Amino acid sequence: MSEKSEESDFTYQEILRQQAGWKKAIVHWHSQNDALKSIVDKFKDRIWVFSGCGTSYYLAQTASSLFELITGIRSLAVPASEVLTYPEIVFNPKSNYLFIPLSRSGTTTETVKAAEIARDLFDIPTFAISCNSQSAMSTQSQDRLEFPFETERSVVMTGSFTTMLLSIIYLAAVAANDTDLLSQLNSIPDASFALMTKNQSLIQKIAANRLSQEFVFLGQGPMLGIANEASLKMQEMTISVSHAFHALEYRHGPMSTATQNTLICILCCQPALRYEIPLVKDLKKLGANILVFHSHSNGRFSDFTDYEINIKDEFSDLLKPLLFMPLLQMLAYYRAKAKNINPDTPKNLSQVVELSL
């Protein structure tokens, strides 16, 4: 049972403070632009393999999509465990790679081991991204992306996910010399915080609906990783049945389980909008509760949704994950509170997974 107030929960504090952390990181990177660009230039002809475990793997999914969209450099995401078990599938001898291990602590065993396999067995350079730049994973990599970060005390990853994602978007924008995207990045912390606080009471209301017994998160492209991470947060913090799918894949079987007890959250993106609007209409006919994240320019969904969160269309689609994710973290947090579960101490989990391998 959770008797603590919101203010005393580490998870709550860490969700609310993350945008302030982004500002500090951006200031730090401003003086590193030339060095960051040189790293990307050095490896621009390689395939960038982003890898991690759990939340960090879902970070890899979104980060790899965004990095390729911004830079044009071929990128992919794989779980660190695949590198441990099937490295010859991940690393084709006919291609050249850069391996990017992602880990909040820099000590996650599978990720550390995957970096060692890439480096020692396949002679692949590594470029570490972690909230702990002094970890062995970081210091043993050929290159690393550093930023200031206040250590999280909660088991679940919140600000660590978004700050590492921000670091990769910033890196890509610098490499691509995308001045418009860099300008938007400077504005994103305040915009994200304002959006979060504006919709906090709505998120709390949605989370408190006891009729919702199953949660589904849908997204295409970069939003798939965000959907997966939102689903994981719901599983970790609330011990609930939760799933994530490519938005349009939900029609192909999974929607057979949708009922009035299902909350379906659709994370809209401009390229998929022409397909997502009909999907939302069809899902509402199933009796499910519908929550849609979209931008003002994407048209109104109010006729066939239960809840909407509108994003200002002044921001690129590439930055919407940074606007969506804090609210999705808050949804899981408030669901945990509604179920009297302490979100700081998820069942069966620890902050770092370290194994004897």
Quick one: pLDDT band at residue 311, thresholds 50, 70, 90? confident
Average pLDDT, the chain: 93
Least Cα distance to 257 among 245, 270, 273 occurs for 245
**What is the pLDDT at residue 7?**
66
The per-residue pLDDT for range 313-356, each reduced to its tens digit, is 789 999 999 999 999 999 999 999 999 999 888 775 545 545 45
End-to-end CA distance of the chain: 35
**What is the pLDDT at residue 56?**
97
**What is the pLDDT at residue 290?**
96
Which single residue is written with the structure tokens 């040189």?
A: 38
Domain ranges of the chain: 6-186, 199-338
**What is the pLDDT at residue 50?**
99
Q: Amino acid letter at 219?
A: G
| 3-state SS string for 157-193 | CCHHHHHHHHHHHHHHHHHCCCHHHHHHHHHHHHHHH
Quick one: pLDDT band at residue 238, thresholds 50, 70, 90? very high
Instruction: Please compute the mean of the pLDDT values over residues 249-263 and round it to a whole number.
Output: 95
The per-residue pLDDT for range 8-44, each reduced to its tens digit, is 799 999 999 999 999 999 999 999 999 999 999 999 9
Instruction: Please compute the mean of the pLDDT values over residues 167-183 and round it to a whole number.
Output: 98
Instruction: Please compute the mean of the pLDDT values over residues 158-173 and round it to a whole number.
Output: 98
**What is the pLDDT at residue 1?**
37
Least confident of 99-103, 136-140, 352-356: 352-356
Q: What is the CATH number of domain 199-338?
A: 3.40.50.10490
* 3-state SS assignment for residue 293: strand
Q: What is the pTM of this model?
A: 0.94
Q: Which residues of 233-251 are buried (b: 16+ CB within 10 A; e: fewer)?
A: bbbbbbebebbbbebeebe
Q: Amino acid letter at 156?
A: V
Return d(Cα 12, Cα 104) in angstroms, integer.
18
* 3-state SS assignment for residue 29: helix
**What is the pLDDT at residue 155?**
85
Instruction: Please compute the mean of the pLDDT values over residues 245-273 and round it to a whole number.
Output: 95
- In degrees and rounded to multiples of 5, residue 65 shows phi and psi of -65, -50
Superfamily (CATH) of domain 6-186: Glucose-6-phosphate isomerase like protein; domain 1 (3.40.50.10490)
Quick one: pLDDT band at residue 2, thresholds 50, 70, 90? very low
- Establish whether domains 6-186 and 199-338 are of one fold: yes
Looking at residue 239, the DSSP 8-state letter turns out to be -
Q: Report whether pLDDT(272) > 70.
A: yes
Least Cα distance to 3 among 348, 343, 347 occurs for 343
Q: Report whether pLDDT(286) > 60.
A: yes
Instruction: Please compute the mean of the pLDDT values over residues 160-186 and round it to a whole number.
Output: 98
Strand 127-130 relative to strand 97-103: parallel, antiparallel, unpaired? parallel
More confident: 161 or 1: 161
More confident: 210 or 333: 333
More confident: 126 or 311: 126
Distance set, CA 24 to CA 20, 30, 54, 124 (Å): 7, 10, 26, 32
**What is the pLDDT at residue 184?**
97
**What is the pLDDT at residue 147?**
94
